[in-house]
Amino acid sequence: MCGIIGFIDRTKSRMDGSSIKAALSLMNERGSGDGAGYAAYGIYPEYADYYALHVFFDDLGEPKKKVDELLQQSGEIVHQEEIPTTPQPGIKKVHIPWRYFFKPSEDLMSGKMASEKDVVTYLVMEVNSNVKGATIFSSGKNMGVFKASGWPEDVANFYRIEDYKGYIWLGHNRYPTNSPGWWGGAHPFNLLNWSVVHNGEITSYGTNQRYVEGYGYKCSLFTDTEVVAYLFDLLGRQHGLSYEMVVKALAPPFWDDIDRMPAKEAELNKAVRLTYGSALMNGPFAIVVGTENGIVGFTDRIKLRPLVVGENGNRLYISSEESAIRVLDPEVKKVYTPRAGEPIIGRFIE
């Protein structure tokens, strides 16, 4: 189960979090009150050049000291604060959500860590696997993830989600089977500007995990969705594949279909399957990924989980349920269900 939702305004006109909360709450039948979360892009314009690191601290003593030290060694913190929250009866505050606005220092960028993003990726992996009591759960620029254990309304009210305005929103209503109770296990999963909401289970997880770990990513959040963010980062950023090509690698056409394609197209699809076989994702899933340039939605190759698309002018909606889209936009024009494995991409208009 799980309910997911994705929204983009292609002109970057921003929308506050209240309607996404309403839409997500409508799908409560798909959740169990054990986890919900939101990702919003465009919310920190004043710090647009800095990485917004959202961290769950178990306490503000030792774990925070370690993270502070690590960040100070690796760059500059221009601002930090506790993420504002309002207590909710339905939410037990087991972690203290914190945010840093951070810029990695140029001195570090050499060899394997050639860019800011490599440094940030390294820091995320380092903290999440080696600093006890601290988890960086969001590390993009001008964006942030807000998540906790609880029902979508409670999580939204807890983080005062309506105070944020974004041009991309992702929402997730969780029915956990893997890791209930743990805030880090709620969606969206994020690395850099990649955020993932996912309904389903990845039966190829072991293969995908071994594959990304070979490239220095560490799966430390006890749930399969995490690996999708790393796959997008590896293929989309490090290998420079287009979103269409990333989706082709993760949910490729069947060999029977490839065999029927014209020679050149068949060759290309074969190359993708041979090269990225370990990135192929199996099992039932519907996924929406938020990125620097837009959103990408897709399902597994035989569409074992629902996904509906709605369009209205410059706005694109992707969700598990049509009803959720209609709550977000009662005027929605075109509503349709994509084919299995077909990528639905919403990009900003330049």
Partner 1 sequence: MTLGSVPSKFKVSIDRDQCMDCGRCIENCSYGVYRREGDKILIESRKCTGCLRCVAMCPRDAITLTEKPIDYRSHPLWTREVREDIIKQARSGKIILSGMGNARDLPVVYDRLLLDACQVTNPSIDPLREPMELRTYIGKKPSKLNFRKTESGDVELETKLAPNLKLNTPIMIGHMSFGAISLNAQLSMAKAVTELGTYMGTGEGGLHRDLYPYQDHMVVQVASGRFGVNIDYLERGAAIEIKIGQGAKPGIGGHLPGEKVNEEVSRTRMIPVGSDAISPAPHHDIYSIEDLVQLIRSLKEATEWKKPVFVKIAAVHNVAPIAAGIARSSADAVVIDGFRGGTGAAPKVFRDNVGIPIEVAIASVDQKLREQGVRNEISIIASGGIRSSADLAKSIALGADAVNIGTAALVALGCRVCGNCYRNLCPWGIATQRPELVSRLDPERGAVQVSNLIKGWTYELSELMGAAGINSIESLRGNRDRLRGYMLDEEMLKILDVLPAGA
Interface residues with partner 1 (CB under 8 A) are 177, 200-201, 203-207, 209-211, 213-215, 239, 241-242, 245, 254-256, 264, 267-268, 270-278, 280-284, 301-302, 304
- What is the rounded distance in angstroms from the CA atom of residue 309 to the CA atom of residue 304? 16
To partner 1, the closest distance from the beta carbon of 247 in angstroms equals 13
Q: Which helix (H) or strand (E) holds 63?
A: helix 62-74
Judged by beta carbon, residue 67 or residue 287, the one nearer partner 1 is: 287
Contacting residues for 291 by C-beta, under 8 A, at least 6 apart: 193, 194, 232, 236, 243
Judged by beta carbon, residue 272 or residue 327, the one nearer partner 1 is: 272
Judged by beta carbon, residue 184 or residue 253, the one nearer partner 1 is: 253
- What is the rounded distance in angstroms from the CA atom of residue 212 to the CA atom of residue 216? 7
Which pair of tokens denotes residue 189?
């999963």
Contact 228, 196 (CB under 8 A): yes
Is 219 among the residues known to form the active site?
A: no
To partner 1, the closest distance from the beta carbon of 65 in angstroms equals 32
Q: In what order do the strands lie in the sheet with 143-148?
A: 143-148, 36-41, 168-173, 3-9, 315-319, 308-312, 334-336
Count of CB atoms situated within 10 Å of the CB of 107: 8
For 322, list phi and psi in degrees, rounded to 5: -65, -40
To partner 1, the closest distance from the beta carbon of 317 in angstroms equals 26
To partner 1, the closest distance from the beta carbon of 28 in angstroms equals 19
Q: Cα-atom radius of gyration of the chain, to the nearest Å? A: 19
The secondary structure of residue 235, as a DSSP letter, is I
DSSP string, 279-345: G---SSEEEEEE-SSEEEEEE-TT--S--EEEEETTEEEEES-HHHHHHH-TT--EEE-PPTT--EE
- What is the rounded distance in angstroms from the CA atom of residue 337 to the CA atom of residue 8? 17
CA-based nearest residue to 306, from 37, 28, 8, 30: 30
Contact 188, 38 (CB under 8 A): yes
Judged by beta carbon, residue 99 or residue 303, the one nearer partner 1 is: 303
Residue type, 235: L
Judged by beta carbon, residue 85 or residue 203, the one nearer partner 1 is: 203
To partner 1, the closest distance from the beta carbon of 34 in angstroms equals 14
Name the active-site residue from 2, 191, 279, 309.
Answer: 2
Judged by beta carbon, residue 177 or residue 337, the one nearer partner 1 is: 177
To partner 1, the closest distance from the beta carbon of 37 in angstroms equals 20
Judged by beta carbon, residue 254 or residue 348, the one nearer partner 1 is: 254
To partner 1, the closest distance from the beta carbon of 219 in angstroms equals 10
List, by residue number, the catalytic residues. Answer: 2
